[in-house]
Amino acid sequence: MRSIYKAVFLLALILGYLESFGQVSARWELVENQFGNQEYHQAKLTLINTSDKTLEEGWNLYFNTIFISVATQSLHEELRFRHLQGDFFVIEGKSKSPAMAPGDTLVIPYKSQGAFLKNSYAPEGLIFERADRSFFEVREYQTQSLSKQDLLQMIEETSLPVAHEENLISKKEWEESQLPPFLPSPKRWKYHGPTGRVKNAGLGVVGDPEFSDVAAFLLQRIKMGYKPKINREEKPITIQVNQVDGLGKEAYRIRIEDRKVVISATSAQGALYGVQSFLAMMPADFWGKGTDELLLSQVEIEDEPAFGYRGLFLDVARNFQPKEQIFKLLDLMSFYKLNVFHFNLANDEGWRIEIPGLPELTDFGGRRGFSRDEQDFLWPYYSSGAYPDQSPSGTGFYSKEDFKEIISYAHSLHIEVIPELGVPAHSRAAILAMEKRYRELMKAGKPEEALRYRLADPDDRSVYLSAQNFKGNTVCVCQESTYAFYEKLIREIKTMYSEAQVPLLSWHTGGDEVPRGAWKASPICDDFLAKNPEIEREDLNDYFRYRVAQLLKKEGIGHGGWEEIGQSHEGEQIVPNEKFSDQNWRLYAWNAVAGWGGEDMAYRLANAGYPVVICSSANFYFDLAYSWDPDERGHTWSGVVDTYQAWKTVPGRLYLSHDQTIDGNTWDWKVAEARFAPLTEKGKSNIIGVSGQLWTETVKSPDMMEYYLLPKMLGYVERSWAGDPIWSFLESEVEMKKARAEEWDGFVYLLRQKELPRLREQFGGFNFRETAD
């Protein structure tokens, strides 16, 4: 019987899908694109009624884009654009939208602030709502493509560097002896003979008792790739994984001589990195179809990382990634010796982790689809589709068991998973989910339970718009139910870690981009401030940060957040907040747009006493497009980031990390150095590491995730392990730039010869950005 219901359901889905064709087709065209002081663009959206029925007056057209203004001006006399939330808009009648007879064409011109840069910036995710409130997705939709040449002509009077595009081609042939044996480059290496090719030899792995798990891991990986037909006449390969004293926590040594491999480390983490380095010397076939031949570089290596914190941040709230893709990403991170997975599990557009006792968070916040009122699930942000059950990027969450599997697997690879559940802003999914919970419990006659975890002040009339164009996305920090809710999250997630037998060491509270205007017209906050005259309204954010930090401290968990949790305002200036500088809050310094003046914020915060992770948006934000080419997807608000931009970052002298401002003007190293806050000795000790970020507003599938990360992530990997590049220690700018070009050429050669071929095969293969030959 169940199979009959399933078949009927599938048939209904198919019929619904087919029905959407032949209803309305659409076309988008760019009309004008203005660059300069007052940038704007004009475009037109054309609708055609391709059905044999009249579309009655009163229809609406919904769409997504984060690349037009919330105040977009309709140039059609009967229609208007109305911003709903985030990237979700509706075109509707000023009184009623006009009827469209079969075959009718309707042109809707509009004007928006901001120039049009990318072909992916056109409106997408079109949903047509008929006058009777039935709806369908507009699947027949064409958009005009802007060519690179078109864009070059449009920006002739500007300095945007559109003509440049990274081409990963080295200028010379390099000898193996001139280059490191793998990436990220080890600290020291020395070849003492030519690479040996060993075919169909037996192989044995022996590990000291302390490293039995690491030895087992190595053997398992080798068996995946080495497929010999054992020739008993061949001398076997022996691999030893030895525990020795005196090396750093993540340090290791390798010596390969003839067919003997010795990997030495003091800790299991260092031993794992030695194993990964040995595997990195294997040919690409090893990771694909398998090979009966191993390459044994005759080499000695001594290695340890420059930074203790080498992170990768992934946002799964904006667009979801399946559990299997997270495992694949963790494998890649471990291979390249990254040791922190910063996991953003909630935001305005989605809640992605099960919390026992609060099913509304995932039943509501973990689903997206079309509705008029957003009462049962979130709207289809980022064109995630009209139907919640058919939305792999909009709908999805990790169950408690899923999450335990993820943190357990990461722990086995010596990767710390830091959960981020951002507050007080970026919280709309949670706020609406708890409002749904409130309504249902009030109907059930349980007012005390209904109020227990409520996050909103229902009478708050504060007017604000977040950085991502959300209204009502900031929790009420003046009511105890907000803190009860967050304490519930901490305890439930801590239980998951405990059950997985993984220590929960650190937590990220977000804390960024709290919109100005929040709590200004909240009766609950008015009452709270009247009862607590020692607290000023402008101090509410600090009050909230401290309260949340105390909840974490009570559970023995370290507190971290984006740079804003350690900042305050002095007039229009953003400065380190001395109030919390002795609290050991870990700050993630991100807002470093080249040319805007905040590029040294990481140093100022570190000098003030905060532990700092450098997350520089201009270098390590992988959701930025690879280039200005209109066909390269991604953001450009902090410029563009390719492999070179990540690779040439100098964490210890950040003013050397740029050659141009975001506007394409020359970045002068001497001028930048003069205005940068120099790192004090205290500040240097507070720079604990670096992190690469992938936010996912424009990333809608596992394949897209991989494309955005690779190969640019490998430039970041080099910096996270090796630290400041050798060229940055030279005296003059001329010397530095000459040496930088030489070092980059060697890096590119190694990338093309070893890393990219392996990525085609490794862990099932990755979808990365190919470069011209």
The one-letter code for the residue type at 266 is T
Is residue 32 annotated as part of the catalytic site, yes or no? Answer: no
From the list 39, 78, 513, 742, the catalytic residue is: 513
Q: How far is CA 53 from CA 102, 417, 696, 760, in A?
A: 6, 55, 39, 50
Q: Which residue has the tokens 């304490």?
A: 487
Q: Is the dihedral of CA 643, 648, 652, 658 positive or negative?
A: negative
Q: How far is CA 399 from CA 21, 75, 113, in A?
A: 36, 47, 42
- In terms of DSSP bridges, do strands 60-64 and 88-93 run parallel, antiparallel, or are they unpaired? antiparallel
Q: Pinpoint the alpha helices (H) of 609-701.
A: 617-620, 643-647, 669-675, 681-686
Q: How many angstroms separate the Cα of 348 from the Cα of each of 121, 525, 681?
A: 21, 22, 39
Cα dihedral 724, 728, 729, 731 in deg (nearest 10): -170
d(CA 119, CA 140): 17
Strand order of the β-sheet with 299-303 is: 188-191, 299-303, 252-257, 260-265, 237-243, 203-207
Q: Please report which residue ranges of 138-186 form alpha helices under DSSP H.
A: 148-154
Cβ–Cβ < 8 Å for 241, 251:
no
Tokens of 327: 């495992």
Beta bridge partners of 107: 46
Residues 6+ apart with CB under 8 A from 368: 349, 350, 377, 378, 379, 380, 381, 384, 385, 388, 391, 394, 395
Q: Which residues, at least 6 apart from 346, have a Cβ–Cβ distance to it below 8 Å?
A: 317, 352, 353, 365, 420, 421, 422, 426, 427, 429, 430
- The count of other CB atoms within 10 Å of the CB of residue 293 is 16
> Burial, 192: exposed, middle or buried (Cβ in 10 Å; 0-12, 13-18, 19+)?
exposed
C-alpha to C-alpha distances, 379 to 70, 93, 383, nearest whole angstrom: 17, 21, 9
Query: Cβ neighbours of residue 423 under 8 Å, at least 6 residues apart?
Result: 475, 486, 509, 510, 511, 544, 548
Q: Rounded to whole angstroms, how far apart are CA atoms 625 and 695? A: 12
Q: Which residues are catalytic?
A: 513
